[in-house]
Amino acid sequence: MNDWTGPDHFYALHRHGFVRVASSTPHVRPADVGFNRDAILAEARRAHEAGVDLVVYPELCVSSYAIDDLHMQTALLDAVEEAIAAVVEASRDLSPVLLIGAPLRHEGRLYNCAVVVARGAILGVVPKSFLPNYREYYEKRWFAHGRNIRGQTIRLAGRDAPFGSDLLFEAADLPGFVFHVEICEDYWATIPPSSEAALAGAVILTNLSASNIVIGKADDRHMLCRAQSARAFAAYAYSAAGPGESTTDLAWDGQGAIYELGDLMAESERFSLEPGLCIADIDTQRILNERLRTGTFADAAEHARRSGAVFRRVTFDHQPHVQDKGLIRKIRRFPYVPNRASHLDQDCYEAFNIQVEGLRRRFEATSGTTMVIGVSGGLDSTHALIVAAKVCDRLNIPRSTILGFTMPGFATGETTKSNAWKLMRALGITAAEIDIRPAARQMLADMGHPFAEGKPQYDITFENVQAGLRTDYLFRLANQRNGFVIGTGDLSELALGWCTYGVGDQMSHYAVNAGVPKTLIQYLIRWAVRSNQFDPETDAVLEAILGTTISPELIPADDEAGMQSTEDKIGPYELHDFFLFHIMRYGLPPSKVAFLAWHAWRDVNAGLWPHEFPDSLKKQYDLATIRKWMEAFLWRFFTTSQFKRSALPNGPKVSAGGSLSPRGDWRAPSDSVATVWLEELRRSVPEA
């Protein structure tokens, strides 16, 4: 196996487990085999220039599909075999594996087949398993089904090739490039052949289809592709016949679609008069990692083997180019943030109400009568407070049930303190202020800290005395007033360990924000404003809070009145949330996450931003910056912070990206090290 792990190959998509897949809709003419052959080769050459690894053509594209009894004509079938031989010969200098549809004779029967062609060879031939014979379909008039064809060979283009419905195709020199072929009606079947193929190891499932178009059928195809890719933990590439097929009684739209784990990666323009080639880079490593961490998939695979599902693997040398060919794939800059404009309100509604419901149930289950929360005027406490306010509304109890405390310290700014008061008043909660500075001075003096003698020593002790006192006050206030403390710390802070352990902001009675990263909190607050969850006075305060610098406000401003900035010290949360999602959710190696981050963040004008994301907040990062902050993330996440997460209070899981609860998605030793991840990053990612 080639060693592509060094920095020289960093920019190559193949090095990171991607396979470039295309769905092709070439021009065809009914029964014009020569024309169709040339059209297939034209698209193959176009795919070659685009660096495609696998091209899926429509069903029976060599002969065309809608020719009825002409399929039984010897002259046509002879021409089909000659055309296939020409395609095989022309493929010698082409990089993609070609999946072409053709009617083929075998032992006195005619089969609707997919021919797998690569670099001058026929890797195998797959017959259609399920033949539609209802409504407008009449395939059993011409074809025999291939469900029982297993372990056979077929003579085609002067050579013998594996023939059967039991074939998987695997590239020996490109890990994860393992594909299966089914044909049209096969994936409309109750149990598609690709289900067993996926359980046998196929990562990319393909479908050569004709499929005439009627109203609503395009949605049905999308539904089937999406469902099969999600249920089979696979990619699914689909290609349907297009304009050029006979319209004697039917019409054709040329729909192509590529899905991965239920996500639409690419789709073609329908009803186009031009040949279609929709391309997507499939993340086979992500697929395999998802199978690895889902025990149900392994159980189903074991059951399938016991039931007698056996596949032959046809291994071939693909000769991947391992070059920088870009990345044809939508990458979300903010993987935790809803990015579908059509579903924005629904996604934000669900996220917000998961938190509301979690807190409501916990409050209802306790014997307390109040909710106690520290309100700083920052993002996290703001979001926790508006969630608590909605809990009161849902329970039909007064918002004065919430006891909000602003607790200014040595570095509390007037802006954040003012915003905290404005928000508490706007929401109508019970509000008070406790100045923690006298108690902090006393504690620092008792400890003999230089600050007590007037020296500007702003170390971690100085910070944590303040953070700890705030939480200490909140717990004692909850004791005094028959309540419980609402935690405000978020998922991003837990990932980085950016919280004071024990009697500090790491601890609470219920950590309502623990499943929500910083980037999502910002967006949920914006959604709360946009969707009129509260009154205009509250909305105005929320907008002001969104515009302030993220800061713990524990160190006094410098000589130029610069506020302590969390992101200046630990890095941009938007990058850290990106790293966290891909490492925690899919277990991807750091070099690959850096590769994805570089493609997502290198150009502020490229790609899609979340709907209505403010232009003023849009940023871009070069690879050196990404590498720098990923190194910081890996060290904090794997080495220094797990002990805080191991003692995490209860809190609701919100995102499919996962939570860091030791009782849920993330269970890790508190005394681990980051050596493996840091070495992989330093070994594989260029420094500049």
- At 442-454, the pLDDT tens digits run 999 999 999 999 9
Q: Which of 421, 672, 361 is nearest to 544 (CA)?
A: 421
Percent of the chain surpassing pLDDT 90: 84
The answer to whether the CB of 444 falls within 8 A of the CB of 465 is: yes
Contacts (Cβ under 8 Å, ≥6 apart) of 135:
none
Q: Measured between alpha carbons, how far apart are the two ends of the chain, in Å?
A: 27
Instruction: Quickly count: other Cβ atoms within 10 Å of residue 547's Cβ.
Output: 12
pLDDT, average across residues 139-154: 95
pLDDT of residue 548: 82
Active site residues: 59, 128, 184
pLDDT band of 559, cuts 50, 70, 90: low
pLDDT of residue 576: 97
pLDDT in tens, 562-572: 555 778 888 99
Which residue in this structure is represented by tokens 């396979």?
A: 19
pLDDT, average across residues 215-222: 93
Tell whether the model's pLDDT for residue 609 goes beyond 90. Answer: no
Helix 590-601 / helix 623-635 crossing angle, nearest 10 deg: 140
d(CA 684, CA 590): 9
What are residue 101's DSSP bridge partners? 114
pLDDT of residue 550: 67
d(CA 73, CA 76): 5
Contacts (Cβ under 8 Å, ≥6 apart) of 153:
160, 161, 162, 163
Contacts (Cβ under 8 Å, ≥6 apart) of 476:
none
Give the three-class secondary structure for 421: helix
307 DSSP 8-state letter: T
d(CA 89, CA 122): 10
pLDDT, average across residues 627-655: 96
What are residue 25's DSSP bridge partners? 276
pLDDT, average across residues 160-169: 98
Tell whether the model's pLDDT for residue 503 goes beyond 80. Answer: yes
Q: Which of 3-17, 174-188, 252-266 has the lowest mean pLDDT?
A: 3-17
pLDDT, average across residues 606-625: 89
Q: Is the dihedral of CA 305, 308, 309, 313 positive or negative?
A: positive
Beta pairing, strands 276-283 & 263-267: unpaired
d(CA 133, CA 86): 32
Radius of gyration of the chain (CA): 30
pLDDT in tens, 190-213: 999 999 999 999 999 999 999 889
Give the CA count within 13 Å in the CB-facing half-sphere of 466: 21
Tell whether the model's pLDDT for residue 147 goes beyond 70. Answer: yes
Which residue in this structure is represented by tokens 């009161």?
A: 392
Q: Is the dihedral of CA 356, 357, 358, 361 positive or negative?
A: positive
The answer to whether the CB of 492 falls within 8 A of the CB of 576 is: yes
Give the three-class secondary structure for 167: strand
Give the angle subtended at the CA of 409 by the CAs of 406 and 414, to the nearest 5°. 70
pLDDT, average across residues 31-42: 97
Q: 522 or 121: whose pLDDT is higher?
A: 121
Tell me phi and psi for residue 80, to 5 degrees: -60, -45
What are residue 645's DSSP bridge partners? none
d(CA 540, CA 218): 45
pLDDT in tens, 305-347: 888 778 999 999 999 988 899 999 999 999 998 877 777 888 8
pLDDT of residue 338: 80
pLDDT of residue 2: 66
Tell whether the model's pLDDT for residue 560 goes beyond 60. Answer: no
pTM for this prediction: 0.94
Q: Which long-range contacts (CB under 8 A, 24 or more apart) does 288-291 make?
A: 288/17, 288/176, 288/203, 289/586, 289/587, 289/588, 290/233, 290/261, 290/586, 291/233
pLDDT, average across residues 356-382: 95
pLDDT, average across residues 432-436: 97
pLDDT of residue 558: 63
Q: Which of 495, 522, 490 is nearest to 630 (CA)?
A: 495
d(CA 258, CA 328): 12
Q: In what order do the strands lie in the sheet with 370-374?
A: 430-433, 402-406, 370-374, 483-487, 510-511
Cα distances (Å, whole numbers) of residue 252 to 241, 249, 484: 6, 11, 63
